[in-house]
Each structure stands twice: as structure tokens, then as C-alpha cells.
Chains A and B, each alone.
Chain A
């Protein structure tokens, strides 16, 4: 069990995540003990890896290989659309929150390690645009500029979560 100090930290982080979710049109899982358990995992990962990678996925502790599973992960929005919840169950769809449906058990959309290692960069539409188009892998925001922004203006994801979408 977390001691008092860490349980304060968990509550604080929960509050921040909840505020961000509300502001950005997302919904944290209202099952507080479940959600607090996930937030505890996020903080544990921040402590041991330096970033909040998904508590329900295996990290090798190398950020460049874990960018896709830093919470909110690249798979959250697709999972919420398809299953009404993200893989770990931290985020639910509005409908599931309103209908009080708990986080379903869903398959992991993240490719296996082998597939991740052999994955090619599929962003290869070439159009000779005057600016390349960058895409935020967390929320899908697109922008045409020479470099991606430091933070996604929509979901606040870091610059390294952007990919070239059209060049």
C-alpha cells in the first residue's frame, strides 16, 4: 500500500489529470480506486523511467522506444472510439461514463515488439508541398510548418510525439 506521502502525490496527479481531461473533452474512469491504482502506476513509471509510460504495458526504460505508450498513448483515441475505453481503462468514452459501464477488457492495439522493430515509417505521401505537414500521434492535430511545435496546441503532447504526415 502507498504511504501517506505517496498517496498525497497520487491524489494530486489524479486531480491534474482529471482537470486536463475535462478541459480537453476526455473522461477519466469514474471508478476511483481503479483509476487511483493506474495513477499510482504512472507515478511509479515516472520515477523509474523518467516518463509516465502506460502502467499496463511493458517498458524497456528507453524513451525513444516508449514514445507511443507515454500516457496518453498513441492508441487511446482509437480505443475509446472502438471500445469505449483505452487499453488500461484510465480513459472512458462519454457514453460509458454516463451509462456507468466499467472499463472493458480489450486487446492491445500496440504492435508486438517484433512488429514495432520492423515497422517502417508509413508517412511517405510526397507532394512537394511548400511546407511539410506534421501530425500529432496522440490527438491527430495537423499543422503545416517546417518543424513540429514544441507542444501540441490541442492536447499538449510533446514535440517528439509528432510524425511527418505529408511532405
Chain B
């Protein structure tokens, strides 16, 4: 079964999906920025999933980021921002 991402309420900027790790400081910085900007988004901590769920989510995420690195932010299934590039995220969600 596909794991359900956690949802954070805020301003609607379309579908904003963050693939993250619970232990990763760059993922944390990215979440902090989204929270600070009050953007509505969904996130998954991939490290907290079962192995089957991990495989499923990783193949989904690798469509956007073939390297499979974190954080990977996908905006409206189009714009992909890899790493905590905060200025780029700000710009994309203006």
C-alpha cells in the first residue's frame, strides 16, 4: 500500500511534495522554510517507512531525482529542487 504523506496546511501553491529523511538537517531546513512561508505541502520521511513502502516511494521519487538524494522537493509534478536550495525554493513558490 502506498504510504500517505503527512499534510501541512497553508497557502495553496499547488501540489508541493517533499521527500525527506527524519535525521537530515537539510531536510529540516527545507521544512522550516516551507513552514515559515506558510505553504501548504505534503511530506514523507522515507527512512521511517517499511522496506516495501521505501522501494515504492524511491521509484516514485527517482522519476524526479534519479540520484535518489534528499531532500527532493517536487512542485506541481514539474519543478524539482534537489537539496536545501532555499533561495530557489522561495523563488519557485513566490
Query: CB-CB contacts of A76-101 with B at 8 A, as 1s and 0s?
Result: 00000000000011000000000000
On whether the beta carbons of A58 and B25 are closer than 8 Å, the reply is no
Query: CB-CB contacts of B17-41 with A at 8 A, as 1s and 0s?
Result: 0000111111110000000000000
Complex CA gap A34/B44 in Å reads: 22
On whether the beta carbons of A112 and B24 are closer than 8 Å, the reply is no
On whether the beta carbons of B83 and A89 are closer than 8 Å, the reply is no
On whether the beta carbons of A112 and B62 are closer than 8 Å, the reply is yes
**Nearest Cβ distance between residue B63 and chain A, in whole angstroms?**
12
Complex CA gap A105/B26 in Å reads: 9
In this assembly, does B51 line the interface, its C-beta being within 8 Å of a C-beta of chain A? Answer: yes
Complex CA gap A88/B27 in Å reads: 11
Query: CB-CB contacts of A101-119 with B at 8 A, as 1s and 0s?
Result: 0000111101011000000
**Nearest Cβ distance between residue B68 and chain A, in whole angstroms?**
5
Selecting from A8-16, A36-44, A120-128, A131-139, the interface stretch reads A36-44
On whether the beta carbons of B58 and A41 are closer than 8 Å, the reply is no
In this assembly, does B11 line the interface, its C-beta being within 8 Å of a C-beta of chain A? Answer: no
A interface, CB within 8 angstroms of B: 34, 37-38, 40-41, 44-45, 55-60, 88-89, 105-108, 110, 112-113
